[in-house]
Amino acid sequence: MQQHKYGALKMFIDLHGHVNRMGTFLYGNALKEGAQIENMLFAKLLSLNSLNFDFGDCSFAEENMVARDWNDGLSRDGSSRVAIYKETLLPNCYTIEAGFHGSKRLNNLPPKYNKIKKSIEPEHILTNPHSKLYAGKPAVYTIEMYEDMGRVRFSIN
């Protein structure tokens, strides 16, 4: 909260791992009009820069802000994502979920253009869906894939 008080808090991310769902996706808050576009844009940018981030599985629904957990009955109203949003009104508050078992599908990534070299960058094993790592299908996540998703997150902000 201190960072928000000084205008330095720009985004809040709570990272989770799970065993029940495949893929990597996020939960965002349900916001009003223009703020919702900004809110969803982050998830879309992640999907355009990572083979393994699944925009289609992301949820920005209001019911995910108030739903009760079926195990303990606690409301998501107390989740860090929702609590930080309610306290700060910061639109970019997310819970990123990464499955332990790998991805459900692979994204088609646009070629990466290097402005300095003025050329298309060659595919890297982590960004090439035809590499032996993927063999054209979703894969069981490796440490390198988790690192790539983290790199993508910090390179677009």
* Residues labelled catalytic: 97
Q: How far is CA 47 from CA 25, 53, 79, 87, 120, in A?
A: 9, 5, 24, 28, 19
